[in-house]
Amino acid sequence: MSLLSVAGFTNLGYWLHARNFEPVAADLEGQTVVITGATGGLGRAAAERIAGLGARTVVVGRSPEKLRAAEDEIAGEVVGYEADLSLMSEIRDLAGELLEREERIDVLVNNVGVLLPEREVTGEGIEKTLAVDLAGHFLLTNLLIPRLAASAPARIVNVTSGGMYSERIRPRDIHFERGEYKGAVAYARSKRGQVILTGMWAERLAGTGVTVHAMHPGWAKTAGVAQSLPTFDKLMRPFLRTPDQGADTIVWLAAAPQPAAESGRLWFDRSPAPEHLVDRTRETAGERQALWDGLVKLTHSDVPAEIGRSD
């Protein structure tokens, strides 16, 4: 079975790929791992396993009740931070709290994401899929890069989606205003943007001790999938991965030795994966830079010049 075949994204694919996986046995005692969207689904599964490796595990979410549940139910040192990650103002407040309260940040997992049936705009005037799935990741990461660099060796893990294989980035239509809005397309374009940013961050952070990787989890059974893609969830339910299976590569990228030796890769089931399956999704160098520049303008943030190369 091809690693990226349709069947490869299912629980059967995970079972076949995982036959030779070694348990992630890293000791993360003394390290701090920040995971966004960590009160359910893949984020919660990753938090449980990372806390089990001894890390101080920072879970970020919107719901105070779910944050308290994560703190109470996950074994290990778990602390919750409340923030609406669709709002750049709350992301700035979150980053300020993290920088004030967390002496080190060894791993940042950008996991939070939304897939919306209709186009929505946040109170700050940003299309919501863009805000949550791309601009928010860009802002939070850039704000935390100085602490990550000071804690180096450190890692950034971006959770993308196999859906990004179907779309090309459109930096001139970053708010998805042109043509009919399709939630799955907006989601896929934002996830494509995540992969592009992964490579660009890796270039800018070369030599700092901060590595950057992206991963996609295959098709996992989560509340988000059931809500956003109910027909897909109903048809594919017997073949969907568990959240723990979907989160496996997140944990591996956060803790295993191999990913620390390289940067800027896309991974699927602990193996390097191509960024494109068809030529029509390939972006130009100009489009990559336009995406970066557009996000800088939108979020008023960039990689600090004293940390890495900033264009």
**Spatial contact of 55 and 33, defined as CB atoms under 8 Å apart:** yes
The alpha carbon of residue 214 and the mean position of all alpha carbons in its chain are separated, in whole angstroms, by 7
Q: Which amino acid is at 252?
A: W
Q: Which of 14, 81, 165, 187 is catalytic?
A: 187
Q: Which residue has the tokens 């070694």?
A: 22
Alpha carbon of 274 to those of 64, 128, 200, 285: distances in Å? 38, 28, 16, 17
Task: Please state, in angstroms and rounded to a whole number, the distance separating the CA atoms of residues 90 and 111.
Answer: 17
Cβ atoms of residues 229 and 182 within 8 Å:
no
Q: Is 187 a catalytic residue?
A: yes
Give me the phi and psi of 71, to 5 degrees please. Answer: -60, -40
Strand 56-61 versus strand 265-268 pairing type:
unpaired
Q: Are the CB atoms for 243 and 219 separated by under 8 Å?
A: no
Active site residues: 187
